[in-house]
Amino acid sequence: MSSLFIWGKRSACLLALLMLAPPARPIASAPAAPRFLEEKVGVASVGTPEQRILSAIDHIRSGNLANARATVDALLKEQPNYRLAHLLSGDLYAMRAMPLTTIGAGADSTQAARLEDLRKEAQARISIRLTHAPQTQLPAHLLVFAPQQQYALLIDAEASRIYVFKNVDGVPTYVTEHYATIGKLGSDKFREGDQRTPLGVYFVNNHLSRPYLDKTRGARADLYGIGAWPISFPNELDKSEGRTGSGIWLHGVPANTYARAPWASDGCVALSNEEMLDIAQYIQVGQTPVVIVPKAEWISKVEWQSRRDAALSMVDGWREDWESLKTQPYLSRYAKQFKSDEGQDLARWSSQKASVSASKSWSKIQLDNLSIYASGGPRPHLTTSFTQNYRSNNLDNQMNKRQYWQQEDGIWKIIFEGAAT
């Protein structure tokens, strides 16, 4: 039996442990009472807090309660506000008297909502081990980095996970990852106050330090822990679709807790303070893309290169048609539901572009600092950003531009185009 099969089987058992209904076997076998009168001294597992909480669950599941106790105690000594670790600690004490069928079975049943949140946190942390791929495959969402973009953040809403990738000669290279909290009602934000985290391509556009938050937010500053990094929601496409809201940030957590439940924010993405500080070192304000998807897609390098080449060819084809004054092929690259940043629909846009093209005898168009990122979910898009250098017989200008592409009858077309904000 391969080690991969054994690991998958073990992970599947761990998932069963966390469900509300009792699993096929209890959290630990029912031992004879005298065995627990004098608990053996165990060996604490080492690693990150997440690695150790998972190790403790593994130890409990296998019946190695001494190592589980040592691991939980060491973790709580380092992270005294880690509520999931406290819950496991209570379970370990309860198991001296009786077997438990699920995490938290030995806790006060009047705290049902809190127990459920902690079970969901444990399940989110364990589940990632079943589908983990970022160190062996590439993210389908990070296709083209602009040269100045050193890192990109990818947030998998379903997995409650944030990943950091480095731009290494244009290839997204895995750096690190952490558990993260998203909106109480999930993802795909549409309006102010819907307690959802947005889906799409955004950019970190500010840093609000904790001292600044203390001055401006008072007692509420503690909600954001060590500080906040706002992102550019709503983006240009969101606004054109009538999506509303503001104040979507990456931020820390209050001082009295280590981590929050997977779905607990009002739409922001929250990490433990320690892990938010780790993420912060990779953020370039004004540059770092934050790609939020319902579920991350991991592909081989060969497939990633193919998608990257296709995206680059698509954008260059648009540029070439425009530069060559091929008005009809150029306009055919725009979707029927197209909107410009000035509110023009496809008919008005086409009329204006045809008129402008008729006044040209030649044009030269160069795209610099190009980036291309792909979102997923119910409305998949490609987001392209670039510096456009345009020259013709009667005009010479430069602008930062952003386009959003979506598929129409199986063909990628531009749904929005305008100045990048």
The alpha carbon of 244 is separated from its chain's Cα centroid by a whole number of angstroms, namely: 20
Strands (DSSP E) along 184-267, which ranges? 200-203, 208-209, 227-230, 249-251, 263-265
Residue 7 one-letter amino acid: W
Is 268 catalytic? The answer is yes
3-class secondary-structure state, position 145: coil
User: Which entry of 59, 86, 141, 268 is annotated as an active-site residue?
Assistant: 268
Structural Rg of the chain based on CA atoms: 26
At position 386, the amino acid (one-letter code) is F
Residue 52: C-alpha distances to residues 68, 85, 135, 162 (Å): 9, 9, 20, 19
Contact 199, 377 (CB under 8 A): yes
SS3 for 161? Answer: strand
What is the DSSP code string of 381-407? Answer: -EEEEEEEEEEESS-EEEEEEEEEEEE
CA-based angle 279:282:288, to the nearest 5?
110
Q: How far apart are CA 258 and CA 79, in angstroms?
A: 7
Max Cα–Cα distance, the chain, nearest Å = 94
Strand-pair partners of 197: 187
Strand partners, 406: 413
Whole-angstrom distance, CA of residue 93 vs CA of residue 42:
15
Pairing of β 249-251 and β 269-270: parallel
The strand pairing partners of 185, in sequence order, are: none
Q: Determine contact, residues 338/408, Cβ cutoff 8 Å.
A: no
C-beta separation of 330 from 354 below 8 A: no
Alpha-carbon gap, residue 181 to 160, rounded angstroms: 6
Q: Which residues pair with 164 in a beta bridge?
A: 153, 176
Distance, CA of 13 to CA of 27 (rounded, Å): 10
The number of beta carbons lying within 10 Å of the beta carbon of residue 357 is 17
- As a whole number of Å, the end-to-end CA separation of the chain is 55
Question: Considering 141, 178, 251, 381, which one is annotated as catalytic?
Answer: 251
Positions annotated as catalytic residues are 251, 268
